[in-house]
Amino acid sequence: MNKFFSVIRNWRVGSTLALTFLVIIWSTPTVGLLITALRDRDEAAATGWWEAVFNPLGQTWSIDSFAKAIDGGMLNALIATLVITIPATILPLVIAANAAFAFTFIQFKGREILFASLVALMVLPLQSALIPVLKGMVWLKKTFGIELVGNYASAWIVHAAFALPLAIYILRNFMMTLPTSLIEAARIDGASYYQIFWKLIIPMSIPSIASFAIFQFLWVWNDYLIAFIFVGEQKAVMTYKLLRLLGQYGDGWQTVAAGSFISLVIPVLVFFALQRYFVRGLTAGAVK
Amino acid sequence: MDDLVLGIVAIIVGVAASWGLYWLLDFLVRLLPEKTQEKLRAFSFLLPAAVLLIVISVLPFFQTIAWSFFDKRAKEFIGLENYVELFADENFLGILLNNFLWVAFVPAITVGFGLVFANLANNVGPKREKVMKSLIFMPMSISFVAAGTIWGYLYDYPPPGRPAIGLLNAIIEAFGGEAQPWLTIDAGRLNSFLLMIVVIWLNAGFSMVMLSAAIKAVPEETIEAARIDGAGPLKIFTSVIVPQIRGTIMSVFITTVIGVMKVFDVVLAMTGGNFNTSVLGYEYYRLFFVESNIGGSAAVVTILCVLIAPLMWLQVRTARHQEEIR
């Protein structure tokens, strides 16, 4: 028995060492970029960032590159990204929660087939719809003067539509675990489905709503294609700006590094703060 | 600042409007006689979702397929010409090869890393497990564009005569080699593989989290029984744990395959599709935004959809299967 425990202990030390090694490899690329963002311009062009790690006191540290990235429009891009992301997270949640409620608690004809098509839609690449939707929005503008393209609203709508299948799927999977007896009891007490949904189901579904909200928040925040096509340059989001910064060679890695850092600080914070819910959302679909 | 105000107003108006919309739908349904009510009840909850999905994703999808048989400006019907042109083009065949390589390597390696991470993390004790898992998982929250920057810097090639500030070339030089412009080297599709590393780096955390949850759900007794029978750790892993988490392995694999089929942003950020690194997702973008070729880009998307269709079927089946377990 003693031998068994010593094997376990050795396992633990070995695993810790191996995992630490892998974690270091996994973090190195990000750390390198962040250190570069904080270094002096000339020094960063002359030596690798690891020199600064080995000799932190012999370095000139500076935040000039952040100032430069902000001058280059990163702050406006941050605001644009926020304004796109938050409504594009809330809108699909409201719509999906209603639909998931119907799929879970209301019997209707064709429910199974509709739900299967929804699962199939989860796989559809969003590129398959973008150009017709863009043309449609341009047509709306020409015919009725409704200006969607170039405005945030277009991105909200498109993001909402493409989030629906997964959102309905995750929320329904969760709602199916709620006790039906509770709903039946509420029905007998004379509550309408509408009341049951808002007063009973929504409060009980908060964990899955949080899961999807974080998932969608990160997805929209990090999206490039939809923001590029529908909102474009006037209200450029951060992925858009970052790509432009990346294209400006001769400027060194400084500004790009600071720009990347500005673009990833919010999602990373959200991620670390709410990781639990995010993981729950991811596993909701795949692990029973 | 105006944008910020606009955003806040939009949130308030949007939430109020959607609440009002559902209230209105419910109200209208309740005006109807009892029997019709019963039939239309689901309808009042489903209508907005259905409208949005049909208008923004289903109908445009069919429109895209239709346009793939039309010319550049989507005006004139030209039959299969777009497809014939694509398959006669050597570049496009190279793109298909790239997509094939992505699908052949990335999902399997991602699952492999996920398994290694999950197993190691399960052995290090809860506190360390939490910290280390977070660090490996963190790239999931980064955009492909930011990841492209991070790795572009790692692969950086200095102008001749300048010191290597990219980690990869610095390591090569430390071992006496010569700095290379890595992302331009397409011999053996080396540059495509370098892009794949970025996506593996991003996705391994997802794979780890899913597999770790599955491994934790494996009943302790089955492992204990194997241990009493004298099975070593490796044997326990391959013949006790893996068979029990096969479902999760499959689902991580499929999810990654689907993601990799549509890969686009990484290629755009790191090589701009140059040096033979283009993929279907990028070719679609290039044909539409650079060449203004609607028919051609529609054909590329249609091919992508045809390739993804079998996965759709798998996904539906997995979802059904999960419901049966429940």
Read off the pLDDT of residues A212-222 as tens digits, 9 standing for 90 and up: 998 899 999 99
3-state secondary structure chain A: CHHHHHHHHHHHHHHHHHHHHHHHHHHHHHHHHHHHHCECHHHHHHCCHHHHHHCHHHCCECCHHHHHHHHHHHHHHHHHHHHHHHHHHHHHHHHHHHHHHHHHHCCCCCHHHHHHHHHHHCCCCCHHHHHHHHHHHHHHHHHHCCCCCCCHHHHHHHHHHHHHHHHHHHHHHHHCCCCHHHHHHHHHCCCCHHHHHHHHHHHHCHHHHHHHHHHHHHHHHHCCHHHHHHHCCCCCCHHHHHHHHHHCCCCCHHHHHHHHHHHHHHHHHHHHHHHHHHHHHHHHHHCC
Does residue B2 have a pLDDT over 80? Answer: no
Per-residue pLDDT at A133 exceeds 90: yes
Predicted pLDDT at A8? 61
A190 near B CB under 8 A:
no
Residue matched to tokens 């993981």 = A279
Q: What is the pLDDT of residue B8?
A: 83
Ranges of each domain in chain A: 1-61, 63-286
Contacts of B169 (CB under 8 A, 6+ apart): B155, B156, B157, B158, B179, B180, B182
Among B45, B150, B156, beta carbon nearest to A99: B45
Report how far residue A128's alpha carbon sits from residue B301's, in angstroms, rounded to the nearest whole number. Answer: 6
Instruction: Grade residue A286 by pLDDT with cuts at 50, 70 and 90.
Output: very low
Q: What average pLDDT does the segment B165-189 reach?
A: 92
Q: Is the pLDDT of residue A245 over 90?
A: no
pLDDT, residue B43, reads: 87
pLDDT for the residue B160: 81
Give the pLDDT band (50/70/90) at residue A7: low
Does the distance separating the beta carbons of A116 and B320 come in below 8 Å?
A: yes
Residues B237-256: what's their mean pLDDT? 90
Is residue A1 over pLDDT 70? no
Q: How confident is the model at residue B248 (pLDDT cuts 50, 70, 90)?
A: confident
DSSP, residue by residue, B190-201: HHHHHHHHHHHH
Binary contact (A95, B18; C-beta < 8 A): yes
Domain covering A63-286: architecture: Orthogonal Bundle (1.10)
Which of A114-128, B70-84, B155-169, B232-246 reaches the highest mean pLDDT?
B70-84
Mean pLDDT over residues A126-153, rounded?
92
Give the pLDDT of residue A131: 95
Calculate the CA A214 to chain-centre distance. 6
Which pLDDT score is estimated for A288?
A: 34
Dihedrals φ, ψ of A145, to 5°? 75, 15
Q: Which of A83, A222, A286 sits opposite B143 (nearest CB)?
A: A222
Is A129 within 8 Å of chain B by CB?
Answer: yes
Q: What is the pLDDT of residue A287?
A: 37
Q: Using CB atoms, which residue from B1, B45, B298 is nearest to A98?
A: B45
CA distances from A246 to A240, A242, B183, B198, B269 (A): 10, 6, 15, 17, 8
Q: Give the 3-state secondary structure of residue B263.
A: coil
| Residue B96 clears pLDDT 70, i.e. is over it | yes
Please determine, for residue B278, whether its predicted confidence score (pLDDT) is greater than 60: yes
Q: For residue A39, what are the β-bridge partners?
A: A61
For residue A179, pLDDT over 90 is answered with: no
**What is the pLDDT at residue B131?**
92
Phi and psi angles of residue A127, each rounded to the nearest 5 degrees, phi first: -60, -25
More confident residue, B316 or B295: B295
Query: Out of A13-22, A76-85, B11-20, which region has the weakest mean confidence (pLDDT)?
Result: B11-20
How far, in Å, CA of A111 to CA of A119, rounded?
A: 13
Q: Is the pLDDT of residue A154 over 60?
A: yes
Residue B174 sits at the vertex; the CA angle it makes with B169 and B175, to the nearest 5 degrees, is 100
Mean pLDDT within A154-181: 91
pLDDT classification of A2: cutoffs 50, 70, 90: low
pLDDT above 90 coverage of chain A, percent: 49
Backbone angles phi, psi at B77, to 5 degrees: -75, 130
Distance of CA B238 to the CA centre of its chain: 28
pLDDT tens digits along B189-210: 999 999 999 999 999 999 999 8
**B81-325 placed in CATH 1.10.3720.10:** yes
Instruction: Read off the pLDDT band of B318 (50, 70, 90).
Output: confident
For position A23, what pLDDT does the model report?
A: 96
End-to-end Cα separation, chain A, in angstroms:
35
Asked whether residue B41 carries a pLDDT value surpassing 90, the answer given is: no
Q: CA torsion sign, B78 to B79 to B83 to B85?
A: negative
Among A16, A33, A121, beta carbon nearest to B153: A33
Average of per-residue pLDDT across A151-171: 93
A270 interfaces chain B, CB cutoff of 8 Å = yes
Mean pLDDT of chain A: 88
CA A278, A282, A283, A288 torsion-angle sign: positive
Q: Which residue of chain B comes nearest to A110, CA vs CA?
A: B42
Whether the per-residue pLDDT at B84 is higher than 90: the answer is yes
The whole-number average pLDDT for the span B135-150 is: 93
pLDDT at A273: 87
Lowest-confidence region among A136-140, A238-242, B5-9, B228-232: B5-9
Asked if B103 contacts B281 with a C-beta cutoff of 8 angstroms, the reply is: no
Helix (H, G, I), strand (E, B) or coil at B186: coil
- The pLDDT of B215-240, averaged and rounded, is 89
User: Nearest chain B Cα to A128, which residue?
Assistant: B61
Judge: B297–A131 Cβ closer than 8 Å, yes or no: yes
**CA end-to-end distance (rounded Å), chain B:** 49
- Report how far residue B153's alpha carbon sits from residue A212's, in angstroms, rounded to the nearest whole number: 33
